[in-house]
Structure 1
Amino acid sequence: MSSRRSLTLHEIATVLEEDDDFSNQRQDFDIFLLPPDTANDYQTDEDSGEEDNVSINNLPGSLLRAPAELAASTSMEKPETEDQTPPEFQEPLKKRVMNYNWRKRDLQLRPIVWKPLYHTPIERSPIEWFSLLFSEEVFEMLTIETNRYLARKLLSADVKIEEMKCLVGILLVSGYCQVSRRRMYWENASDSRNSLIASALSRDRFTLIYSNIHVADNLNLDTSDKFAKVRPLLKVLTMRFLEHCPHKENHSVDEAMVPYFGHHGCKQFIRGKPIRYGYKLWVGATSGGYIAWFEPYQGASTFTNAQYSQLGLGASVVLSYADQLATLGYGKNYHLFIDKFFTGLPLVHELTERGFRVTGTIRENRSGKCPLLSNKEAKTKERGFYDYRISDDIIICKWHDNSIVSVCSNAVGVDPVHKTERYSQQLKKENICFSTSSHSTIQ
């Protein structure tokens, strides 16, 4: 509830200072001051107080006597507390604090039946397969936003959807039929001219559209998103990729690099990678290499489900992809493979409760004080040595290969043990056989 009082500014100051009951019953105050009667007069009764330290005590009399209104909201409505969360807010998952009872036995595998989908292959042309992912919605968005941007620059280009499709086609051709400069495709020289490109779109028209292409409205960008200018395109493509994802049992979550050498706050440098400079993407893909989901990395503001923020960035990425797989409606007995950046026991417990299987390498400081041999002691053992422990249907196995590898899983046990071929750096020989478990075979 709210109340209003018509007073002078001087009376309002008196009420706020002396009336404790009035102040305690209200949370917010709004003071509406009307112009004084002498606002248009040449002579004023300016106060002689300090100009740099103006307070209620040294305002001119005409201002103090000016009509004003005091609007205050009463405290009859209960203030919002931390417990009164909006209904759409989801409680963040808290990192589990668990006491592990590690025992040396193998994992008792639960019977998992994966049901592949059998269907008659559909005969489609290459352009039809391409249109499944880059649908008409994508080209309409490109055309609308590009025309909007051109109009703000006072350029009347009136780009058509057909022209936008030609532009995308030219970019695809330029990816495998490369020349020193893109303008060479339209030259008359026979060794550089590409008749397919030249006949599809004129050089000047291509340059105009390509230099002004947009996928988002610059006046309505999310300032917290460093990829806001391409976010609409990323959302549509991710939705289409997931919609047409092949039905596969095994999925992998990892990072991928998109080469880029320009200037941008999200450009990464990763030493030792085939692509060292560019944008890093979190990617969820099938065992056949099909990308079903991706999210560009932008530091702490990376768009993942805020519900998983307490588990760390790596766990948030994996759980966000698991949520996407769950929307496909094929059940939840997928098998996810991850590396040591993502793997942690809280993540494995959470995926186990959701019905997902997971296997991944794990760092020694994330293994819940599992009483395995230390890396230093394991290196003194012969190659092929392995040690393992199990707790709560989660097994951790440490194996001596080229280096010491620790693997955590809720779906793969140690047995059966068999032989595998490896190169011996010490003996300088190939095809040396060592004993290995099911965990190391996955690696």
Structure 2
Amino acid sequence: MKDIEEVDTSCNAVFSDPPGEELTPLQYFGTMCSDDIIQKLVEQPNLCCIQKTGAPLDTNVREIEKYVGINVLEGVVKMPSCRMYWTEATRFSPIAVSMPRNRFDKLRNYLHVNDNTKMKQREDPDYDKLLKVRPFVDKIKQGFSIIEPEEYHSVDELIIPFKGHSSLKQYVKSKPHKWGIKVFARADSSGIVCDFEIYRGKGTVHNDTGLGISGDIVLRLVEGLPKYKKFKVFTDNWFTSYNLISSLKNYGILAVGTVRPTRLQGCNLKADSELKKQGRGSYDYRTETERNIIALKWYDNKSVVLASSYKGVSPVELVKCWSVGERKYIDVPRPDIVREYNH
């Protein structure tokens, strides 16, 4: 039972100078959705239409750019039905004028990113559930990779809302959108997604490190961070384990995360009942001295267990918290590791 030894946390990442001219929104969009993607969205719908009907779709780059723009705008100006943008009573001119409704429907029907004939059978070891959108996903990842990383990053899961038929569809009751496609993402402190991996069951990641899928995903998502630059990564208890924090430390990446007690073998922290008797703000901690990794249980309204490779107990600050029983604000001790994670 000792505090973590002091760690040099100075992040020596170097950032480029800001651009000389401010980019337009369209130019920023082009850095993520490149001309290669648009060209794919021209070639593949034409090919799909020929395969199904024997006649070409006769679309082009300009028309596909309009189609993408309409979809973006529909996400801003929302209506219950797609056709309402063209209906006389609810007509929305920026969309209705740019493309006829029937043409939009036809483009949507034949929208493809990859050749269907390349799809392998499920029994094939090279079968890819994301083959139909693989070129698009890879290009978007490539666009994200040009974003220069900030010091602080968070790895978490998010849901792309979707209720259609797909083997990728998941139900996550804790999310605002409970049905959809699960995506694991790394975002920086500005809220910008820097890398992501779509969950597709077995085969989501190929780097079997012995940490389980949760740990493998974190190591996969931090691949884009330069090593030994002392970036900070935050995770929740689905990802965090002692072995993960130790592995990140080998890459020169510091970490803080909430952790399940079952993933801290041999680390016996005080029971919740004992901490509850001591009152709000009580805590117990242990440090694995060989790797200088600390585990701490802090009791507020309920207990939370955290693990860290660079933040420990000290300094302990007093924070104002509302007490229901006393009906007033009281001072509650908060260790530094808890402050860092909340921040």
Report the TM-score when normalising by structure 1: 0.71
Q: 1:178 & 1:104 partners in 2: Cα distance?
A: 56
Matched, 1:114 2:16: no
Q: 2:327 & 2:160 partners in 1: Cα distance?
A: 37
Q: Partner residue of 1:64?
A: none
Q: Partner residue of 1:377?
A: 274
1:241 CA displacement: 1.1
CA contact 1:254–1:283 (8 Å) conserved in 2: yes
Matches within 5 A, 1:231-310: 231-243=134-146, 245-302=147-204, 304-308=205-209, 310=210
The number of residue pairs the alignment matches comes to 332
> 1:150/1:361 Cα in 2 relative to 1: closer, same or farther (>3 Å)?
same
Q: 2:170 & 2:190 partners in 1: Cα distance?
A: 27
Q: Partner residue of 2:242?
A: 345
Matched, 1:355 2:252: yes
CA contact 2:185–2:197 (8 Å) conserved in 1: yes
1:115 CA displacement: 4.0
Structure 2, unpaired ranges of 5+: none
1:119 CA displacement: 1.4
Q: 1:182 aligns with which of 78, 82, 104?
A: 82
SS for the counterpart of 1:359 is: strand
> 1:394/1:353 Cα in 2 relative to 1: closer, same or farther (>3 Å)?
same
Deviations 1:349-392 (A, max 9, x none): 11111100011011111112113212332233210011111112
SS for the counterpart of 1:229 is: helix
Q: 2:283 & 2:181 partners in 1: Cα distance?
A: 38
Q: Partner residue of 1:324?
A: 224
Q: 2:331 & 2:321 partners in 1: Cα distance?
A: 6
Which letter does structure 2 place at the counterpart of 1:416? P
Q: 2:42 aligns with which of 143, 156, 167?
A: 143
Q: Partner residue of 1:193?
A: 91
Q: 1:129 & 1:112 partners in 2: Cα distance?
A: 31
SS for the counterpart of 1:251 is: strand
> 1:425/1:168 Cα in 2 relative to 1: closer, same or farther (>3 Å)?
same
Q: 1:226 aligns with which of 129, 138, 144?
A: 129
Identity, in percent, stands at: 31
SS for the counterpart of 1:360 is: strand
> 1:384/1:173 Cα in 2 relative to 1: closer, same or farther (>3 Å)?
same
1:262 CA displacement: 1.4
Q: 1:314 & 1:347 partners in 2: Cα distance?
A: 9
> 1:210/1:113 Cα in 2 relative to 1: closer, same or farther (>3 Å)?
closer
CA contact 1:282–1:297 (8 Å) conserved in 2: yes
> 1:182/1:113 Cα in 2 relative to 1: closer, same or farther (>3 Å)?
closer
Q: 1:123 aligns with which of 12, 16, 22?
A: 22
Q: 1:436 & 1:184 partners in 2: Cα distance?
A: 53
Matches within 5 A, 1:25-44: none
Q: 1:141 & 1:176 partners in 2: Cα distance?
A: 25
Q: 1:205 & 1:111 partners in 2: Cα distance?
A: 56
Which letter does structure 1 place at the counterpart of 2:231? Y
Which letter does structure 2 place at the counterpart of 1:340? N
Matched, 1:387 2:284: yes
Q: Partner residue of 2:304?
A: 405
Q: Partner residue of 1:436?
A: 334
Report the TM-score when normalising by structure 2: 0.91
CA contact 1:386–1:397 (8 Å) conserved in 2: yes
SS for the counterpart of 2:118 is: coil
Compare 372-381 and 250-259 and name the one that shifted more: 372-381
CA contact 2:228–2:251 (8 Å) conserved in 1: no
Matched, 1:168 2:68: yes
Bigger Rg, structure 1 or 2: 1
Q: Partner residue of 2:55?
A: 155
Q: 1:135 & 1:218 partners in 2: Cα distance?
A: 22
CA contact 2:162–2:179 (8 Å) conserved in 1: yes
Query: In angstroms, what is the RMSD of aligned CA positions?
Result: 1.8
Which letter does structure 2 place at the counterpart of 1:401? D
Matched, 1:212 2:110: yes
Matched, 1:426 2:329: no
Q: Partner residue of 1:28?
A: none
Structure 1, unpaired ranges of 5+: 1-102
Q: 1:389 & 1:129 partners in 2: Cα distance?
A: 47
Q: Partner residue of 2:261?
A: 364
